[in-house]
Copies of this chain bind each other. A is one copy, B any other.
Amino acid sequence: MKTIRTIQFLLLLAVPILAVAAKVPDPLPSWNDGAAKQTITAFVQATTTQGRSTFVPPAERVAVFDNDGTLWPEQPMYFQLAFALDRVKALAPQHPEWKTKQPFKAVLEGDLKTVLAGGEHALIELVMATHAGNTTEEFARIVEEWIATAKHPKTGRRYTEMVYQPMLELLAYLRANGFRTYIVSGGGIEFMRPWTEKVYGVPPEQVVGSSIRTRFEMRGSKPVLVRLPEVNFIDDKAGKPVGIHSHIGRRPIAAFGNSDGDLQMLQWTCIERQPSFCLYVHHTDAKREWAYDRTSGIGRLDKGLDEAKAKGWTIVDMQKDWKVIYPTVPK
């Protein structure tokens, strides 16, 4: 009997030891232990543990992510602008008039400063000249080709190799816990959809973005959607809650952004009536990525930073909270 008791005692001791041994691997290995990581895992536990007052049914576990500056960089310019500039160069032979017409002339001469000096008007003109005039299928193929080959001027990486590794882990962690992850970006919806599933695991129907108008046409027996040079919807700032409501029809319970352009999306998400989580990625890492906030032209984070602090939203200090920035790319 004594032997059996001893074995029982040892078995009891072993239970916690085994529990430790069987512990699931860290779902966020690229995140340093700290307040940001802790608030994320605490929120997921709070909303997914059955019986807790903060439990949220899977259907309502909607998480929305900004893209530029939140899932991948936006410096020295939005990656979609790099795409537009490359398109101008590719289309230039068909547009001899661009040699003398701004902002195209500046693009062809590699004079980014003059392009940007043209402000929003010049950018819209570039987008319309490079994003419209073809069918949705043709445009998707052009984006696929570009994203598979173009490289970032600073890092020499493909743009899809510059997505943030810690955010990839966060997307996967949320999905593993029954969340649906949406992208809600000021970028073009049709610019993102061809590659977001492969790169982020986000399927086309979970991408919300800015858009130009399209028109249905029968070309012989072939139905097409033609992309028109007219703005349809700008999914930025106060447009983000509008885009979320239109596409999802539910209020998210978690929102992730990096700039004042995401503030309304975070305000819309983090209200008192529900368990909710809001997070800002703060670009503090001039060495490994870029450092900018209150005075930046692109991705300014000023009002949002104050509101995040006042409301206790999570602020990721990129330099301190992230072990790595980009995924390891096979040489």
The stretch from A11-19, A68-76, A237-245, A312-320 touching chain B is: A237-245
Tell me whether A189 is interfacial, beta carbon within 8 Å.
yes
Is the pair A264, B204 in contact by a Cβ cutoff of 8 Å? no
Residue of chain B at shortest CB distance from A222: B271
**A249 and B189 contact, Cβ closer than 8 Å, known pairs A267-B223, A271-B223:** yes
Q: Which residues of B contact A294 (CB under 8 A)?
A: none
Q: Are B193 and A216 in contact (CB under 8 A)?
A: no
In-complex Cβ contact of A249 among B207, B222, B246 (8 A): B207
> How many residues of A are counted as interface, with CB atoms below 8 angstroms from the partner's CB atoms?
30
A216–B203 contact, CB under 8 A?
A: no
- Not counting A189-B249, A204-B250, A211-B246, a sample of 11 additional A-B residue pairs whose C-beta atoms are within 8 angstroms of each other reads A189-B246, A193-B249, A204-B248, A205-B248, A205-B249, A214-B245, A215-B238, A216-B268, A223-B241, A223-B267, A225-B242
A interface residues with partner B (beta carbon < 8 Å) = 59, 136, 189, 193, 203-205, 207, 211, 214-216, 218, 222-223, 225, 238-239, 241-242, 245-250, 264, 267-268, 271
**A203 contacts B59, C-beta separation under 8 Å:** yes
A15 to B85, CA, bound (A): 66
Chain B residue, CB-CB nearest to A196 = B249
CB of B216 within 8 A of CB of A238, answer yes
